[in-house]
Amino acid sequence: MDINFTMQKILSYLSCHLPFNDETTYRRAIVINGALLISSIFFTFFAFFNFFILHRENIVFLNLSALLISSMLLVYIKKTKNINITAQLSTIALSLFLLLFVNYAHSDHFALIWTIFLPIYAFFVNGKKRGLYFSLLFYSILFIMSYKGIGVWDEGDWTMIDWTRLFLASLLILFAVYLNESAYEKYEKRLKLSRSNEKKLIEKLSQLSITDPLTKLYNRRYYDEIIEKMIAVAKRNKQCIHFFILDLDFFKNYNDYYGHEKGDEILSTVAQLLKKNIQRRGDDFVFRLGGEEFAGILISEDKEKAQKWIAEITHKVEALQLKHKKSLCCDVVTVSIGICSRCANEEFNAKELYLSADKALYEAKLQGRNQCRVAS
């Protein structure tokens, strides 16, 4: 039998089949289920042992009561998967059991040894803050009980020295467990912060890989990645896909006359106009393919309306009134656009879309620029 496979099965069962995305909850689920299962076995064994060997009926009743509560909590956590409530209920139940056990078995020093499990369990399943509250309350009651038992417990052999040892040992255990849980929680916070920063960095790098740094539009790489998917979406939804290529008219002349810095400003301005007017829905995209060339994808049911909407971009760019003294078609910055629209019932692919839109753009330039042409 594969040991690793067996351990995975055991851990999966003890964790209530919780997804491993919260390590603290995962750990607490395993500890709670493991403790409840083991304690159920122990309570069963000690019930028989005390009944048949030691003949202590009061301890037998206590063990059977604890067994019943453990079984009920096991059913509760499996059914509700509520780790926090189960942690609190099981801690209260363990506290009551240990206090009653110490009270019934006070003639035996060994009974007090079991109390060391309370703070360990309380901190593990409740966390630092709530675990400390449970432990302090438990020890407050235990110290009062054991102090009143001086000269009475263990046929009078329980002395002040014994009580002092119990007091100091309990506080030492409590302090050690508190430090351990504090260190663990601090480590968990740092780990979560590190993972959060790593996730943000990965997302940022991923975004940078598909985004043009100047215009903040999607780049050519993302266009190549998404175009086939968008065609599939349009065909599946029985809609039309509209692909257009936009080119700034005489942009090289603009760069040579005004300088590259001003040229970059124009590119960014036109990019934001495209983003505002085209990329308004989840299935609309605009790209900077390179240089002064932009592109866009729209999916719609109304073919003519979408084409008209894209064509309006030429008027909106001209309306910006961005001076361009070296343009051969106008005295302001203008654009030319080529559109290719295809509907679900037509046979086409990404390459055909691009070539048709590019041909329409070429026709727009031949016709004098600052206009839009639609591919047949």
- pLDDT for 33: 85
| pTM value > 0.85 | no
Give mean pLDDT, residues 17-33: 72
- pLDDT for 11: 52
Q: What would the pLDDT profile of 133-160 be if each residue is shown by its tens digit?
A: 999 999 999 999 999 999 888 888 889 9
Task: Tell whether 180 and 31 lie within a shared domain.
Answer: yes
Task: Tell whether 293 and 343 lie within a shared domain.
Answer: yes
Residue 18 confidence (pLDDT) above 60: no
Q: Which of 93-107, 162-176, 237-251 has the lowest mean pLDDT?
A: 93-107
Task: Tell whether 126 and 255 lie within a shared domain.
Answer: no
Task: Tell whether 19 and 155 lie within a shared domain.
Answer: yes
Q: Is residue 104 part of a domain?
A: yes
**How many other CB atoms sit within 10 Å of the CB of residue 274?**
25
Task: Tell whether 54 and 189 lie within a shared domain.
Answer: yes
Give mean pLDDT, residues 293-301: 93
> Residue 299's beta-bridge partner residues?
241
Q: What would the pLDDT profile of 205-227 be if each residue is shown by its tens digit?
A: 766 788 998 999 999 999 999 99
DSSP codes, 46-115: HHHHIIIII--HHHHHHHHHHHHHHHHHHHHHHHH--HHHHHHHHHHHHHHHHHHHHHHTTT-GGGGGGG
Residue 79 confidence (pLDDT) above 80: yes
Task: Tell whether 49 and 111 lie within a shared domain.
Answer: yes
Q: Provide the number of structural domains found in the chain.
A: 2
Distance CA 96, CA 21 (A): 33
Q: What would the pLDDT profile of 325-358 be if each residue is shown by its tens digit?
A: 999 999 999 999 999 999 988 889 999 999 999 9
Residue 2 confidence (pLDDT) above 80: no
**How many other CB atoms sit within 10 Å of the CB of residue 176?**
12
Task: Tell whether 12 and 73 lie within a shared domain.
Answer: yes
Q: Assess contact for 76 and 16: CB atoms under 8 A.
A: no
- Report the Cα–Cα distance between both ends of the chain, in Å, rounded: 68
Which is higher by pLDDT, 4 or 272? 272
Q: One-letter amino acid identity for 263?
A: G
- pLDDT for 6: 57
Q: Assess contact for 58 and 79: CB atoms under 8 A.
A: no
Q: Is 178 helix (H, G, I), strand (E, B) or coil?
A: helix
Q: Assess contact for 150 and 160: CB atoms under 8 A.
A: yes
Residue 20 confidence (pLDDT) above 90: no
Q: Is residue 209 part of a domain?
A: no
Closest by CA to 247, choosing from 290, 216, 209, 208, is: 290
Residue 124 confidence (pLDDT) above 80: yes
Task: Tell whether 159 and 228 lie within a shared domain.
Answer: no
Task: Tell whether 21 and 138 lie within a shared domain.
Answer: yes
Q: Is residue 362 part of a domain?
A: yes
Q: What would the pLDDT profile of 243-283 be if each residue is shown by its tens digit?
A: 999 999 999 999 999 999 999 999 999 999 999 988 767 67
Task: Tell whether 330 and 185 lie within a shared domain.
Answer: no
Which is higher by pLDDT, 138 or 196? 138
Q: Is residue 211 part of a domain?
A: no
Q: Is residue 14 part of a domain?
A: yes
Largest CA distance in the chain: 113
Task: Tell whether 191 and 234 lie within a shared domain.
Answer: no
* Residue 333, domain extent: 218-374
Q: Which of 5-14, 30-39, 83-92, 316-325 has the lowest mean pLDDT?
A: 5-14
Task: Tell whether 294 and 327 lie within a shared domain.
Answer: yes
**How many other CB atoms sit within 10 Å of the CB of residue 213?**
8
Q: Is 285 helix (H, G, I), strand (E, B) or coil?
A: strand
Of 198, 229, 252, the one marking the end of a domain is 198
Residue 13 confidence (pLDDT) above 60: no
